[in-house]
């Protein structure tokens, strides 16, 4: 399986934006949902999941790096846009806030988070 990347539709107004990060038919298969706020320059991820498929909704500006078939791929999410990344198991991924304000990431995973038996393996691909 490959990483799937889609730009999400946003509903902007004077207050900000609204977006729907996951499709209705995928909601029931999610076992973990978390929101990440990262400071400028911060890197998140640098891991892969053994069993879980992770869906990330990333509000730009951000740099997403993932490794498929031992090849690194970079994708830059432009400022003010939102992209969804569906990352299959065993694909290393990392997200860097390349802006000058805190960034937002909404993550869904098909495997429950268990600190005693984590479904992730660290691999540094982005500093």
Each residue's pLDDT expressed in tens, for the chain with a length of 127 residues? 799 999 999 999 999 999 999 999 999 999 999 999 999 999 999 999 999 999 999 999 999 999 999 999 999 999 999 999 999 999 999 999 999 999 999 999 999 999 999 999 999 999 9
Say if residues 22 and 57 touch (Cβ distance below 8 Å).
Answer: yes
| Domains recognised in the chain with CATH numbers | 4-8+31-109+116-122 (2.60.120.10)
- Residue 5 burial by CB count (10 A; 0-12/13-18/19+): exposed, middle or buried? middle
**pTM over the 0.75 mark:** yes
């Amino acid at each position: 399986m490959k990483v799937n990347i889609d730009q999400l539709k946003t509903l902007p107004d004077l207050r900000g934006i609204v977006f729907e990060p996951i499709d209705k038919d995928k909601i029931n298969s999610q076992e973990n949902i978390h929101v990440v706020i990262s400071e400028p320059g911060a890197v998140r991820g640098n891991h892969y999941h053994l069993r879980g498929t992770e869906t990330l909704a990333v509000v730009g500006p951000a740099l997403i790096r993932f490794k498929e078939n031992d090849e690194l791929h970079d994708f830059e999410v432009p400022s003010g846009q939102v992209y969804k990344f569906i990352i299959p198991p065993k694909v290393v991924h990392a997200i860097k806030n390349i802006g000058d304000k805190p960034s937002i990431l909404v993550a869904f995973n098909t495997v429950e988070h268990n600190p005693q038996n984590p479904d992730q393996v660290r691999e540094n691909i982005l500093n």
